C-alpha cells in the first residue's frame, strides 16, 4: 500500500474518531453514547496542550533554542482573535447563516484562527529577531521578559477586558480543536523530517559548525520561532473560543513552564514525547485529585492539594534520574521498528 494512501486512510479514521467523540460531547450524545462535561473538557485541554507542546518542541527540542515565553504568543493569538469575534462575530453569523449554525461557527472560527495565527506570528518575529542572537540562559530570560510584558500590556487594554476578563463567543468545539491538534502534529512532523528539519537539528547540535557549513542559522532560527509562535497563537484562539472567557491570569509564566514541563518530561526533540508529555501533564493533576485523602494527626490532607507539589517533585526527579525525558529523542516509529527487529521480523533499516 503506498504511503500516500496509508496517510489518507489514517487521516479519515482520525477525523471520523474526532467527529464521534465530538458528537458524544454534545447534549444528545452520539446516538445516545455521551461523554460528561468534565471528561470532555479534559480531552479538549489535552488537544490544546498537544498543539502547545508540539509547537514549542519545534523551537526548543529540535532547534535547541531555549524559549520560555510560549504563553505570551498563546495570549496574543487568544486576545487578537477574541477581539475580532467579539466585535464582528454577530455580523458574520448573519452573513454566513445560509450555512447553518455549525457551518457559520466553523467559518468564523477558521477566520479567527487565521487572524490569531498571523498576529502571533508577527509577535514571534518581533520577539525572535532581536532575541535569537542570544544564547542559552540569556535567551530564556529575554523570552520570559517579553511574555510578561505582553501579558501586562494586555492586562492594561480595557478594550479586551483588562483585569476583569473578557467574554468570548464559543465558536470552538472538540472536532475543530482535535483537527488542529492533528494539523499541528502533521505540519511539525513534516518540517522535522525535511531538509529544513535537519538544518534545525544541526543548529541545535553545534550552531557554529552549522553556520560554517553554510546553514543560514539566523533565518532558520527565526523561521522556526515564528512558526512555533503561530501555532501557539492557534492554541490560544481555540482556548479562548472554547473557554468562552479570557483572563491574563491564564497566561502567566507558570503556563509557559507547564508547556516546558510537557516537552521535558516527554523528551525534547521527540514528537511522540511532546504528545505524550502533553497528555501526561494534563492528566496528572486530575489523576492526583482522585486519590483519597490521608489522615495525619488531627489534619486531613487531600492529595489534590498536594498535587502541584507532587507535580513539581516529579519534574525535579525526572531531571535527576532521566534528564532526557521518557522518549529522549526517539520516536514511536523507531521504537516499533527496533522491537520488530528484535523479534526477528523484517521491519526496516537497522
Partner 1 sequence: MDTFVQQLINGLTIGSIYALIALGYTMVYGILRLINFAHGDIYMVGAYAGYLLAIYLGFDANPSIFGFIVVLLGAMLVAALIGMAIERFAYRPVRKFSRMTTLITAIGMSLFIEYLFVFIFSGTPRSFPQLLQNDNYTIFGNATISTSQILIFAVSILLMVALQYIIFRTKIGKAMRAVSFNLNSAKLMGVNTDFVIAFTFALGSALAAAGGVLTAQYNPKIEPLMGIITGLKAFVAAVLGGIGNIPGAVLGGLLIGAAETLVVGYGSYIGIPSTYRDAVAFAILILVLLIRPAGLLGTNVQEKV
Footprint of partner 1 (CB under 8 A): 66, 130-131, 134, 136-138, 140-142, 144-146, 148-149, 152-153, 155-156, 208, 254, 257, 260-261, 264, 268, 305-306, 308-309, 311-313, 315-316, 319-320, 323
Q: How far is the CB of 166 from partner 1 (least distance, A)?
A: 17
Task: Indicate the residue among 76 and 142 with the shorter CB distance to partner 1.
Answer: 142
Tell me phi and psi for residue 158, to 5 degrees.
-70, -25
CB 313 within 8 A of CB 306: no
Task: Indicate the residue among 301 and 336 with the shorter CB distance to partner 1.
Answer: 301
Q: How far is the CB of 314 from partner 1 (least distance, A)?
A: 8
Task: Indicate the residue among 62 and 242 with the shorter CB distance to partner 1.
Answer: 62
Q: How far is the CB of 303 from partner 1 (least distance, A)?
A: 11
Task: Indicate the residue among 309 and 335 with the shorter CB distance to partner 1.
Answer: 309
Task: Indicate the residue among 130 and 333 with the shorter CB distance to partner 1.
Answer: 130
What the block records as the C-alpha cell of 213 is 557549513
Task: Indicate the residue among 114 and 310 with the shorter CB distance to partner 1.
Answer: 310
Q: How far is the CB of 253 from partner 1 (least distance, A)?
A: 8
Report helix angle 174-193 to 195-205, nearest 10: 70
CB 267 within 8 A of CB 277: yes
Task: Round to whole Å and give the CA distance between 196 and 223.
Answer: 10
Tell me phi and psi for residue 90, to 5 degrees.
-60, -45
Q: How far is the CB of 66 from partner 1 (least distance, A)?
A: 6
Task: Round to whole Å and give the CA distance between 218 and 89.
Answer: 39
Q: How far is the CB of 131 from partner 1 (least distance, A)?
A: 8
Task: Indicate the residue among 66 and 176 with the shorter CB distance to partner 1.
Answer: 66
How is residue 26 annotated by DSSP?
A: S
Q: How far is the CB of 328 from partner 1 (least distance, A)?
A: 13
3-state secondary structure (DSSP) of residue 112: helix
Task: Round to whole Å and give the CA distance between 73 and 333.
Answer: 31
Task: Indicate the residue among 54 and 131 with the shorter CB distance to partner 1.
Answer: 131
Q: How far is the CB of 127 from partner 1 (least distance, A)?
A: 9
* Intra-chain end-to-end CA distance of the chain, in Å: 22
What the block records as the C-alpha cell of 260 is 516546558
Task: Indicate the residue among 85 and 217 with the shorter CB distance to partner 1.
Answer: 217
Task: Round to whole Å and give the CA distance between 109 and 168.
Answer: 12
Task: Round to whole Å and give the CA distance between 69 and 34.
Answer: 37
Q: What is the DSSP string of 304-348?
A: HHHHHHHHHHHHHHHHHH-TTTTTTT--HHHHHHHHHHHTT---S
Residue among 282, 215, 324 nearest 45 (CA): 282
Q: How far is the CB of 287 from partner 1 (least distance, A)?
A: 17
Task: Round to whole Å and give the CA distance between 314 and 323.
Answer: 12
Which residue reads 462535561 in cell numbers? 37
Amino acid at each position: 500500500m503506498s504511503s500516500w494512501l496509508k496517510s489518507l486512510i489514517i487521516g479519515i479514521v482520525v477525523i471520523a474518531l474526532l467527529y464521534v467523540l465530538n458528537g458524544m460531547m454534545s447534549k444528545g450524545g452520539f446516538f445516545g453514547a455521551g461523554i460528561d462535561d468534565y471528561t470532555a473538557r479534559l480531552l479538549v485541554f489535552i488537544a490544546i496542550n498537544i498543539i502547545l507542546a508540539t509547537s514549542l518542541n519545534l523551537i526548543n527540542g529540535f532547534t535547541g533554542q531555549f524559549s520560555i515565553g510560549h504563553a505570551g504568543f498563546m495570549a496574543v493569538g487568544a486576545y487578537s482573535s477574541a477581539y475580532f469575534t467579539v466585535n464582528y462575530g454577530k455580523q458574520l453569523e448573519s452573513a454566513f447563516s445560509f450555512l447553518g449554525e455549525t457551518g457559520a461557527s466553523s467559518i468564523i472560527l477558521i477566520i479567527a484562527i487565521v487572524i490569531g495565527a498571523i498576529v502571533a506570528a508577527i509577535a514571534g518575529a518581533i520577539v525572535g529577531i532581536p532575541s535569537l542572537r542570544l544564547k542559552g540562559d540569556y535567551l530564556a530570560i529575554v523570552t520570559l521578559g517579553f511574555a510578561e510584558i505582553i501579558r501586562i500590556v494586555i492586562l492594561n487594554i480595557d478594550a479586551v477586558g483588562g483585569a476583569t476578563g473578557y467574554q468570548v463567543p464559543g465558536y470552538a468545539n472538540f472536532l475543530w480543536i482535535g483537527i488542529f491538534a492533528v494539523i499541528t502534529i502533521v505540519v511539525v512532523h513534516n518540517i522535522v523530517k525535511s531538509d529544513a528539519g535537519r538544518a534545525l537539528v544541526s543548529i541545535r547540535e553545534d550552531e557554529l559548525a552549522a553556520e560554517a557549513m553554510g546553514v543560514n542559522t539566523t533565518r532558520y532560527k527565526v523561521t522556526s520561532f515564528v512558526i512555533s509562535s503561530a501555532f501557539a497563537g492557534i492554541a490560544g484562539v481555540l482556548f479562548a473560543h472554547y473557554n468562552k472567557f479570557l483572563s491574563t491570569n491564564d497566561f502567566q509564566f507558570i503556563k509557559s513552564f507547564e508547556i516546558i514541563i510537557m516537552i521535558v518530561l516527554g523528551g525534547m526533540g521527540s514528537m511522540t514525547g511532546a504528545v505524550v508529555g502533553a497528555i501526561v501533564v494534563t492528566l496528572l493533576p486530575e489523576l492526583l485529585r482522585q486519590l483519597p485523602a490521608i489522615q495525619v494527626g488531627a489534619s486531613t490532607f487531600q492529595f489534590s492539594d498536594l498535587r502541584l507539589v507532587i507535580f513539581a517533585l516529579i519534574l525535579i526527579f525526572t531531571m535527576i534520574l532521566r534528564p532526557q525525558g521518557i522518549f529522549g529523542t526517539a520516536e514511536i516509529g523507531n521504537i516499533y521498528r527496533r522491537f520488530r527487529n528484535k523479534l526477528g521480523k523484517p521491519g526496516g533499516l537497522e
